[in-house]
């Protein structure tokens, strides 16, 4: 059994809310590959650079937190021509947290002046220290951390 991994998905705040409501994650315009990198019990943060995918209003915050609950990657027919892949996630109650005051302390951001660069990948792994630092700012109830263990 491999060690638990920690991931960030970059999606709009609007799409993050859809994910929370449906207990799933869909990344990189519905691609299967990134989702196959996750395994059951891995943890996930959602970072939203914008409020909506098409809009220009900035969000620049971590907007959701959860863990992978099974080993299934599955397709979901959203429209006749768009059938993206999804993964089941158990989201936990948390607060939205701006990234701006966290940047200096995040190891996955090597160049603090170009801090947005890592998020351009849409989905990537981070280390446990960064995950714990971010989630410590998002979680207001002690019991929530237990749901991620």
The CATH number of residue 49's host domain is 3.10.590.10
Residue 13 domain-assigned?
Answer: yes
Task: Note the pLDDT tens digit of each residue in 93-117.
Answer: 999 999 999 999 999 999 999 999 9
Find residue 46's DSSP bridge partners. 9, 64
Number of domains in the chain: 1
Residue 106 domain-assigned?
Answer: yes
pLDDT over 80 (residue 18): yes
Residue 57 domain-assigned?
Answer: yes
Residue 146 domain-assigned?
Answer: no
Instruction: Give how far Cα 17 sits from Cα of 47, 52, 62, 104, 148, Å.
Output: 12, 11, 12, 27, 19
Residue 22 domain-assigned?
Answer: yes
Domain that holds residue 29: 6-140
Average per-residue pLDDT for the chain: 92
Contact 43, 8 (CB under 8 A): no
State pTM to two decimals: 0.90
Task: Note the pLDDT tens digit of each residue in 114-133.
Answer: 999 999 989 999 999 999 99
Q: How confident is the model at residue 56 (pLDDT cuts 50, 70, 90)?
A: confident
State the pLDDT at residue 91: 96
State the pLDDT at residue 79: 86
Residue 147 domain-assigned?
Answer: no
């Amino acid at each position: 059994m491999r060690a638990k991994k920690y991931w960030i998905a970059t999606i709009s705040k609007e799409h993050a809310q859809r994910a929370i409501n449906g207990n799933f994650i869909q990344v990189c315009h519905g691609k299967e590959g990134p989702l196959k990198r996750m395994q059951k019990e891995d943890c996930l943060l959602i970072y939203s650079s914008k409020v909506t995918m098409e809009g220009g209003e900035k969000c620049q915050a971590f907007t959701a937190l959860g863990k992978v609950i099974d080993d299934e990657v599955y397709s979901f027919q959203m429209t006749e021509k768009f059938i993206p892949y999804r993964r089941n996630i158990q989201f936990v109650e948390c607060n939205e947290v701006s990234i701006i005051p966290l940047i200096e302390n995040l190891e996955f951001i090597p160049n603090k002046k170009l801090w947005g660069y890592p998020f351009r990948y849409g989905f990537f792994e981070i280390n446990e220290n960064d995950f714990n630092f971010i989630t410590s700012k998002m979680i207001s109830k002690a019991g929530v951390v237990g749901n991620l263990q």
